[in-house]
Amino acid sequence: MSSALSLKGYTVLRAGRASFLIHRRSAAVALGLLVALAAAVVASLCLGESTVSPVEVVKVVLGQPSPHELVVGEFRLPRVVVGLLAGTALGTAGALIQTVARNPLASPDVVGVTWGATATVVGLMAYGVVGSTGQAPYAAVAGGLAAGLLVYALAWRRGLHAQRFVLIGIGISVALSSLTSVFLTKGDGFQAQAAKVWMTGSLNGSGYDQAGWLAWVLLAAVPVALWAARAQRSISFDDATAVGLGLRLDRIRLGMALLGTVLASCAAGAAGPVDFVALMAPQIALRLARSAQIPLLCSALTGALVVVPADLVARRLLAPTELPVGVVTGLVGAPYLMWLLIRSRRGGS
Amino acid sequence: MAVLEARDLTLAYEARTVVEGLDVAVPDGRVTVIVGPNACGKSTLLRALGRLLKPVRGAVLLDGEELARIPTKRVAQRLGLLPQSPTAPEGISVADLVARGRQPHQSWWQQWSAEDEAAVAEALERTSTAELAERSVDELSGGQRQRAWIAMALAQGTDILLLDEPTTYLDIAHQVEVLDLVRRLNVERGRTVVAVLHDLNQAARYADHLVAMRDGRIVAQGAPGDVVTAELVREVFGLESVVVPDPVTGTPLVVPGAPWAVAVDA
């Protein structure tokens, strides 16, 4: 009767009473993304005003003495690390918020979080309260969190309803973007210009100051993300079915939305509001992994894999002028996402 | 005392009270069917029995314990539910869908035990969906899809099953197929079933215990043979009818009064 059942596409690992169910394609994609990401990091460290060989780059990263320590270790590495972390945070945030909103168009950019960070920083910078390098990250984190919490508070009505959440998020985003424009026009001209550069999302001059706390936030997010990934197996059903399967829907939605907000705010704090990454990365990851729900780990890696090469392009495209990374992320990711969409439509589904 | 019962239950959406002061005990190991006109509160009652709706007053009790106070995962090990139009993640296979019914028995370090595997294989077998296991749920026919969902609820391994209009959108052959399946699960596995059904005659055929509702109250309950009468149909649905024995099962068969026609002079 209970003949062995094979779950197509999954590999089962069992040891004693412990058992793990692994979606094979997601695991393979994650591995592939990791390799590509490593290559992108090395390439970013090799290329610049002076070209450094990959061997030397690896030496510097491993802490061995090298004549390129200054260029690679001091100039390029911090910037790549911040890009890597910010991309990871954005990819994860997008995956979480799209899961909660059940909507592929929802992302921290759309539901108010990013605009919260932007309006706060631009407001404070345009009126000379903070400089671009100093307290801007903290202002961004605070602003993003505040906007996110405001959206949840307004959307909460005996639970967080997906549609209400997205609509109120859009409303708050529009209001905050208008406010940002007011700050830019009314504020001090020179300061407003600096605020504008911050607004496009830039890794220019990024250092370990940003990398340090962003890394801690990401590390702290790992257990919450693992919890969220388990819940994703049932949250992708309708609400009634999910509750029937024993999911504490309100708690899990709020947890996912809050984690997404924290990660997106911190990414904005470290690199400014880098556009499109949080929106695109989960959708690219979903299509690569062909899983039933948005894969968190693959989304995180895809986020990093969009930002790191995008920053390389931003640095080199009009060298010696360095472009803000936010200008390029859309250029790198959007065509790829469109290609995936077109291909899947031809596939007949 | 019944395993699942409701006491003095009052249910409301926003300010609109749908069910007021209702008491009901679900007989263990039997098929209970709730019937009534549209908007009589039958689906609302089922939602409350499945903890999808919090009572304004009163309580649903599972083993004498207030449902709202039991951790939802523990409830999910006792009570499975199939909503009226459930939605599955896009592109999911039947086996994957049914496998997710095991969620209440899993944890982060026990994601797919041998028991999970056996329960899913058995659920597929019992619902004759084993041959569909690798197909995508999206491409199944209505009847097949409903069987797959029932398989998922079955894999959950609960002794109580709540079904909200499981035959809606199905043609008559598939309706009979699904209801026969439910009946068989009840007889062979001793599962307690509570279902909301639209069709009074089907309810009379498949129920051990019939609950007739109107305006958020229970008008009558009991064995279909005792409950379903022309008076009850008039009182509950406001319909004139003749009740005759079903030629196949002997259960009450409601035949509505003559259809409208132009009066013909004799």
Q: Which of A5, A246, A293 is facing B117, going by the closest CB pair?
A: A5
- Is the CATH number 1.10.3470.10 carried by domain A27-322+332-337? yes
Is the CB of residue B109 less than 8 Å from the CB of residue B137?
A: no
State the total domains in chain B: 1
Q: Which two tokens stand for residue A249?
A: 């829907």
Is position B49 within any domain? no
The CATH number that applies at residue B218 is: 3.40.50.300
Q: How confident is the model at residue A349 (pLDDT cuts 50, 70, 90)?
A: very low
Quick one: pLDDT at residue B263? 66
Report the C-alpha gap between B204 and A270 in whole angstroms.
66
As to burial, measured by CB atoms within 10 angstroms (0-12 exposed, 13-18 middle, 19+ buried), residue B109 is: exposed
Chain A, nearest residue to B90 by Cα: A292
Report the C-alpha gap between A142 and A262 in whole angstroms.
9
Inspect the interface and report whether the beta carbons of A19 and B110 lie closer than 8 Å: yes
Chain B CB contacts of A236 below 8 Å: 89
Quick one: pLDDT at residue A348? 40
Is position B266 within any domain? no
Instruction: Map tokens 């959950």 to a residue.
Output: B156
CA distance B201 to chain A (A): 28
Q: What is the arithmetic mean of pLDDT over A226-250?
A: 91
- DSSP letter for A134, please: T
Query: What is the rounded average pLDDT for all residues in chain A?
Result: 88
Q: How confident is the model at residue A3 (pLDDT cuts 50, 70, 90)?
A: very low
CA distance B204 to chain A (A): 27
pLDDT, tens digit (0-9, with 9 covering 90-100), for A52-63: 999 999 999 888
Is position B16 within any domain? no
Q: How confident is the model at residue A131 (pLDDT cuts 50, 70, 90)?
A: low
CA distance A228 to chain B (A): 11
Inspect the interface and report whether the beta carbons of A226 and B76 lie closer than 8 Å: no
Mutation target to probe the B interface, by most B beta carbons within 10 A, among A241, A249, A345 is A241
Is position B18 within any domain? no
Mutation target to probe the B interface, by most B beta carbons within 10 A, among A99, A161, A237 is A237
Is position B23 within any domain? no
Residue B1 has pLDDT above 80, yes or no: no
Quick one: pLDDT at residue B159? 93
Inspect the interface and report whether the beta carbons of A349 and B95 lie closer than 8 Å: no
Mutation target to probe the B interface, by most B beta carbons within 10 A, among A21, A26, A245, A344 is A245
Is position B51 within any domain? no
Quick one: pLDDT at residue A18? 94
Is position B237 within any domain? yes
For residue B202, the enclosing domain spans 29-39+74-256
Question: Minimal CA–CA distance to B54: which of B12, B82, B8?
Answer: B12
The contact set of A with B (CB < 8 A) is 1-5, 7-10, 12, 14, 17-21, 226-227, 230, 233-234, 236-241, 243-248, 290, 292-293, 349
Q: How many CA atoms lie within 13 A of B87 on its CB side?
A: 8
pLDDT, tens digit (0-9, with 9 covering 90-100), for B180-192: 999 999 999 899 9
Distance of CA B56 to CAs A157, B62, B213, B214, B255, Å?
16, 18, 19, 19, 38
Domain boundaries, chain A: 27-322+332-337
Inspect the interface and report whether the beta carbons of A243 and B109 lie closer than 8 Å: no
Q: How many CB pairs under 8 A join A and B?
A: 117
Torsion angles phi and psi, residue B247, rounded to 5: -60, -20
Q: Which of B87, B108, B116 is facing A238, going by the closest CB pair?
A: B87
User: Which residue spans within chain B are E strands per DSSP?
Assistant: 4-13, 16-26, 31-35, 57-62, 65-66, 79-82, 160-164, 192-196, 209-214, 217-222, 241-245, 252-256
Question: Minimal CA–CA distance to A271: which of A221, A190, A216, A211?
Answer: A211
Mutation target to probe the A interface, by most A beta carbons within 10 A, among B112, B152, B188 is B112
If one counts every other C-beta atom within 10 angstroms of the C-beta of residue A219, the result is 9
Quick one: pLDDT at residue B225? 95
Quick one: pLDDT at residue B64? 94
Inspect the interface and report whether the beta carbons of B121 and A241 lie closer than 8 Å: no
Q: How confident is the model at residue A103 (pLDDT cuts 50, 70, 90)?
A: confident
Q: Which residue has the higher pLDDT, A49 or B88?
A: B88
Q: What is the arithmetic mean of pLDDT over A344-349?
A: 49
Q: Which of B73, B86, B120 is facing A237, going by the closest CB pair?
A: B86
Q: What is the arithmetic mean of pLDDT over A268-277?
A: 87
Residue B60 has pLDDT above 60, yes or no: yes
Inspect the interface and report whether the beta carbons of B52 and A19 lie closer than 8 Å: no
Quick one: pLDDT at residue B265? 60
Residue A347 has pLDDT above 50, yes or no: no
Quick one: pLDDT at residue A282? 94
CA distance A146 to chain B (A): 29
Inspect the interface and report whether the beta carbons of A246 and B80 lie closer than 8 Å: no
Query: What element of type H or E holds A13?
Result: strand A10-15
pLDDT, tens digit (0-9, with 9 covering 90-100), for B183-237: 999 999 899 999 999 999 999 999 999 999 999 999 999 999 999 999 999 999 9
Q: How far, rounded to the nearest angstrom, does the alpha carbon of residue B139 sit from its chain's CA centroid?
A: 24
Is position B13 within any domain? no
Chain B CB contacts of A248 below 8 Å: 72
Chain A CB contacts of B88 below 8 Å: 237
Q: How confident is the model at residue B127 (pLDDT cuts 50, 70, 90)?
A: very high
Chain B, nearest residue to A232 by Cα: B89
Report the range of poorest mean pLDDT among A113-122, A137-146, A194-203, B85-94: A194-203
